[in-house]
Amino acid sequence: MKVLVPVKRVVDYNVKVRVKSDGTGVDIANVKMSMNPFDEIAVEEAVRLKEKGVVTEVIAVSCGDAKCQETLRTAMAIGADRGILVETAEELQPLAVAKLLKALVDKEQPSLIILGKQAIDDDANQTGQMLAALADLPQATFASKVEVAGDKATVTREVDGGLETISLSLPAVITTDLRLNEPRYVTLPNIMKAKKKQLDTVKPEELGVDVKPRLKTLKVAEPPKRGAGIKVPDVATLVDKLKNEAKVI
């Protein structure tokens, strides 16, 4: 069984992002970049399935510029067998990424596609769902537990009311939630081994995909700063302020 795991290069989650002075986007100059945490969970889950003997090959995929090779090497250090970089300088939006992944799914014919439920930069939470629609595959989003047996996958999903368990016929698309697993620490020997693993590069044109942006960002702004709090002498004053000033009751 072959598993495809898309991974995205994003600003590291420990970094406090700064908005550009002209409001056109986020400043990423000289900022630490790393693998999207949800995608790291996806790679870990695919590798665990391989260690159980359920999966035979784990393929990491990334879409973006040449620097995304670092993210793919990290995925291979975790345990992915090989990597594919779809190299482009275009700003990639969820639909474009989903179309690129659909082309790779047609080419590689994986039994399972596991990806993060969302990226921490745009928080779109769209790519997995769009890929499932384009490839006409069953999907299970927000997975907190995954079990694969034969041509079926049983996925426990995190939903508003608690947990939902569903059964999928493979091939299928699964998007990961935070509680699915805790990714392993990448050791130096595995980082060195990853450098020798196969990494192929393709262009969107070779896959027959148009990645031109369909959406235009009008403005990016930081959240408004929180105002200072005040102390009130009694409950009656508090209720009065909540009612007449904050207007929340």
* Beta strand residue intervals within the chain, DSSP E: 2-6, 9-11, 18-19, 26-27, 33-35, 57-64, 82-87, 112-116, 139-149, 152-159, 162-169, 172-176, 199-202
pLDDT digits (tens, 9 = 90+) for 143-153: 999 999 989 99
| H or E element that contains 78 | helix 68-78
Record the pTM. 0.86
Angle at 80 between CA 77 and CA 83, to 5 degrees: 100
The pLDDT mean for the chain works out to: 93
Q: Are 153 and 147 in contact (CB under 8 A)?
A: yes
Tokens of 238: 């508090």
pLDDT digits (tens, 9 = 90+) for 129-177: 999 999 999 999 999 999 999 899 999 999 988 999 999 999 999 999 9
- Under DSSP, the state recorded for 139 is E
Higher pLDDT, 229 or 5: 5
Axis-axis angle for helices 94-108, 127-135 (nearest 10) = 50
Axis-axis angle for helices 37-51, 68-78 (nearest 10) = 30
Cα 156 from Cα 220, distance rounded (Å): 36
> Domain spanning 2-224 has what CATH number?
3.40.50.620
Q: 135 CB contacts (<8 Å, ≥6 apart)? A: 102, 105, 106, 173
Domain definitions of the chain by residue range: 2-224
pLDDT at 177: 94
Q: Tell me the average pLDDT across 194-216.
A: 93
pLDDT digits (tens, 9 = 90+) for 80-112: 999 999 999 998 999 999 999 999 999 999 999
Angle at 131 between CA 126 and CA 137, to 5 degrees: 125
Q: Name the pLDDT band for 223 (thresholds 50, 70, 90).
A: confident
Q: Are 177 and 59 in contact (CB under 8 A)?
A: no
Q: 43 CB contacts (<8 Å, ≥6 apart)? A: 5, 7, 35, 58, 60, 75, 78, 79, 80, 183
Residue 174, strand partner residues: 114, 140
Q: Tell me the average pLDDT across 68-76.
A: 96
Cα 46 from Cα 24, distance rounded (Å): 37
Q: Tell me the average pLDDT across 183-199.
A: 94
**Three-state secondary-structure class, residue 45:** helix
